[in-house]
Chains A and B, each alone.
Chain A
Amino acid sequence: MSQIALWGAVELGLVYAFVALGVYLAFRVLDFPDLTVDGTFPLGAAVTAVLIMAGINPWFAAAVSMVAGALAGLVTATLNVRFKILNLLASILTMIALFSVNLRVMGRPNVALLSVDTMLTPFYGNGLRDFMVRPLFLLVLAIVALLIVWRYLESDAGLAMRATGANPRMARAQGINTDRQIYLGIALSNALVALGGALFAQTNGFADVTSGVGTIVVGLAAVIIGETLFGTRRILIALIGCVVGSILYRIAIQLALSSDVLGLQASDLNLVTAVLVTFALVLPRLKRGVLSS
């Protein structure tokens, strides 16, 4: 694997680290299987691309993307909490609706960000090569996001969210409005995923309506790889695991696809993804089996 390919994999891994953090909030903290992310990732990309092309500041565009993602999350949470639709089904409904919404936002299936300033523009040309600037920039943002999520989950409000996912009956008995926690948690989760989408658009130079396919699988894979390698005992370690898991996942995919020995092609991406996720899911069981034997 070339150096550029490696940096590219790290860059994509860091973009999806935001997805992994969002998926961690929904799946692990709230125990809410949320497939909305397959729609919110391209939504974030679409909103940011359209706004940047309209001359809006790219940082502000990313912030608006987060708000759009949070609103999409609120729709899913409302369907589940208010209308008692099963969480999985509620998120699928929002996800398919978002496909149309994303087409409406962009007005066409994809938007190219050509000859426009992005969040990265000020950082180019400072001595580092462009393919290194992007991952470093994303790393700083990912660390900031990770620290904010960690600090929140360690607060009284964050603990209430964790209790809602772990034992909702007990949470209510402790005075926690569990419905409100689901609204808030799913909104935050999708805001992070939409930010990932916004960064994807700005680092890759385009937004595409199909870019969200499989986002949930990638996010879950990152979370599971992180949990397998780092454990789940402490929140900070689990969150670091999400980010590192996301990067390792992308490197593993890149390695598999660039390996001549395996004879894989770019079209085998989904197959490699499925094999890697399965491996990540089975690995903890294998580890336990080895330890017990």
Chain B
Amino acid sequence: MISLDNIHVVFGRGTPLEKKALSGVSLTIKEGSFTTVIGSNGAGKSTLLGVLAGDVIPVEGCVRIGDAIVTKQPTAARAGRVARVFQDPLAGSCGALSIEENLALAHKRGKTRGLKLALGHSRRKLFREKIAELDLGLENRMTDRMSMLSGGQRQAVSLVMAMMAGCDVLLLDEHTAALDPGMAEFVMKLTERIVNDKKLTTLMVTHSMRQALDYGDRTIMLHGGEIVLDVEGDSRKTLEVEDLIAMFRRVRGQTLDDDELLIA
């Protein structure tokens, strides 16, 4: 289980540019659930993921992952619990390293890294098998640099990397936003398959309201650093994109002016 209790995040504190990114967000996410997170630009979606990943340390509040309180724990220290796939395909992997080297890095996530060869025979075989499951033909390009892969291929490999060492929670930060529609659909199907197979606790930030309703079992909407909508179960199953927009307007009592959100 993941729980966020009264989380406050302020950027540029004490400066003229001070901005409240999250204001008293409290959220409990059940183990094995798949939650989608939507909201306009600047709503606090990525900050919420950052708080869970350790990139953002809240000024107030408590973050729990499983039994552990991880509020002040830096990213590297909680990497064994949290796996991530970033929005930018270049951010989640090392372009200068080969596919198999990237997998070797992920293989030791959250574990002590010693002087053992990163790419021994048995590991190479394991990595090749994992990559072959993608069915993209990348198992024949294991020594190619990641920078030679397309954005979609990189995101697919990033998903495999996220699963290499196991985790308590998977964070997906608009991980299909930079992909063409065909590749985005492939990556989403792959995501769904992995999440279902491993029964992972997953949080996915998306700008697409369609994705937010099609995938997962719970949807939350952020606005101005607060959770303004939280639907799951039967009430979510009957929701349409138009309903989501109407709910947003009703809750906030204002016009939705984020073009990207409306188009999505």
- A residues contacting B by CB (< 8 A) are 151-152, 154-160, 162-163, 166-167, 169-178
A170-B91, A177-B76, A178-B76 as given contacts; A157 in contact with B97, CB under 8 Å? no
Q: Establish whether residues A175 and B115, one from each chain, have CB atoms under 8 Å apart when the complex forms.
A: no
Q: Establish whether residues B109 and A174, one from each chain, have CB atoms under 8 Å apart when the complex forms.
A: yes
CA of A155 to CA of B117, assembled, Å: 4
Chain B min CB distance to A159 (Å) = 4
Contact with A along B72-87 (1 / 0, CB 8 A): 0011110110001010
Contacts of A169 in B (CB 8 A): 91
Most buried by A among B76, B106, B115, B117: B76
Instruction: For A172, give its contact among B79, B80, B108, B111 (CB under 8 Å).
Output: B79
Instruction: For B75, give its contact among A151, A152, A172 (CB under 8 Å).
Output: A172
Closest 4 CB pairs of A and B: A175-B79, A156-B113, A166-B96, A166-B94
Q: A155-B118, A156-B117 are in contact. List 12 more A-B contacts (CB 8 A).
A: A155-B113, A155-B117, A156-B116, A156-B118, A157-B115, A160-B105, A166-B95, A166-B96, A167-B91, A173-B86, A175-B111, A176-B113
Q: Establish whether residues A156 and B79, one from each chain, have CB atoms under 8 Å apart when the complex forms.
A: no
The 25 sampled A-B contact pairs (Cβ below 8 Å) are A154-B119, A155-B116, A155-B118, A156-B113, A159-B97, A159-B101, A160-B105, A160-B108, A162-B94, A162-B101, A163-B105, A166-B94, A166-B96, A167-B95, A167-B96, A170-B86, A171-B105, A172-B74, A173-B79, A173-B92, A174-B79, A174-B108, A174-B161, A175-B109, A177-B76
Instruction: For A157, give its contact among B94, B95, B113 (CB under 8 Å).
Output: B113
Q: Establish whether residues B105 and A174, one from each chain, have CB atoms under 8 Å apart when the complex forms.
A: yes
Q: Establish whether residues B94 and A154, one from each chain, have CB atoms under 8 Å apart when the complex forms.
A: no
Contacts of B117 in A (CB 8 A): 154-156
- B residues contacting A by CB (< 8 A) are 53, 74-77, 79-80, 84, 86, 91-97, 101, 104-106, 108-111, 113-119, 161
CA of A256 to CA of B91, assembled, Å: 46
Q: Establish whether residues A170 and B111, one from each chain, have CB atoms under 8 Å apart when the complex forms.
A: no
Instruction: For A159, give its contact among B91, B111, B118 (CB under 8 Å).
Output: B118
Contacts of B91 in A (CB 8 A): 167, 169-170
Q: Establish whether residues A152 and B115, one from each chain, have CB atoms under 8 Å apart when the complex forms.
A: yes
Contacts of B95 in A (CB 8 A): 166-167
Chain A min CB distance to B52 (Å) = 12
Q: Establish whether residues A173 and B53, one from each chain, have CB atoms under 8 Å apart when the complex forms.
A: yes
Q: Establish whether residues A167 and B93, one from each chain, have CB atoms under 8 Å apart when the complex forms.
A: yes
Chain A residue, CB-CB nearest to B101: A159
Chain A min CB distance to B133 (Å) = 20
Chain B min CB distance to A70 (Å) = 18
Q: Establish whether residues B93 and A170, one from each chain, have CB atoms under 8 Å apart when the complex forms.
A: yes
CA of A39 to CA of B151, assembled, Å: 44
Contacts of A175 in B (CB 8 A): 76-77, 79-80, 108-111
Q: Establish whether residues B104 and A156, one from each chain, have CB atoms under 8 Å apart when the complex forms.
A: yes
CA of A158 to CA of B106, assembled, Å: 14
CA of A133 to CA of B63, assembled, Å: 64
Q: Establish whether residues B92 and A170, one from each chain, have CB atoms under 8 Å apart when the complex forms.
A: yes
Contacts of B96 in A (CB 8 A): 162, 166-167
CA of A170 to CA of B104, assembled, Å: 13
Chain B residue, CB-CB nearest to A165: B96
CA of A178 to CA of B77, assembled, Å: 11
CA of A176 to CA of B108, assembled, Å: 9
Q: Establish whether residues B75 and A159, one from each chain, have CB atoms under 8 Å apart when the complex forms.
A: no
CA of A155 to CA of B115, assembled, Å: 5
Contacts of B101 in A (CB 8 A): 159, 162
Most buried by A among B79, B110, B111: B79
CA of A17 to CA of B114, assembled, Å: 27
Contacts of B115 in A (CB 8 A): 151-152, 155-157
